[in-house]
Amino acid sequence: MSMCVSVVRVRVCTFIICIRTLCTLGTPHDDYVSMGVISDGNSYGIPEDLIFSFPCRCRNGKWSIVQNLNLTTHAKNMLKRTSAQLLEEKEVAHNIAFPQSKL
């Protein structure tokens, strides 16, 4: 096994342990972490079914998106721009994987 593969395995295992610990222990009451999760279509104007980084809280092994944080105009514009880019990338990926069907 190459050294590179070993390093990747260690990093993946470390990541899994961190996520498992976070979901098991939870986030502090008034705190949240940024997690890439599937959008519910109702949070911060991000369209449904996009994997997007949201502020999340973890409780009892489950995560939820923190709602209604006050965002600056700049932050709102960046969210719109990023979600538009992700929608374009999603369409490109879909067209490569399923050239005969529309998204």
pLDDT (tens digit, 9 = 90+) per residue, 15-51? 677 777 777 777 888 889 888 889 999 999 999 999 9
33 closest CA partner among 58, 13, 14: 58
Tens digits of residue pLDDT in 57-98: 988 888 899 999 999 999 999 999 999 999 999 999 989 999
Is-contact 58 33, C-beta < 8 A?
yes
Q: Which structure tokens are listed for 38? A: 């599937």
Sort 68 into a burial class: Cβ within 10 Å, 0-12 / 13-18 / 19+: exposed
Give the architecture-level CATH label for domain 3-70.
Answer: Alpha-Beta Complex (3.90)
Look at residue 30 in the predicted model and tell me its pLDDT: 84
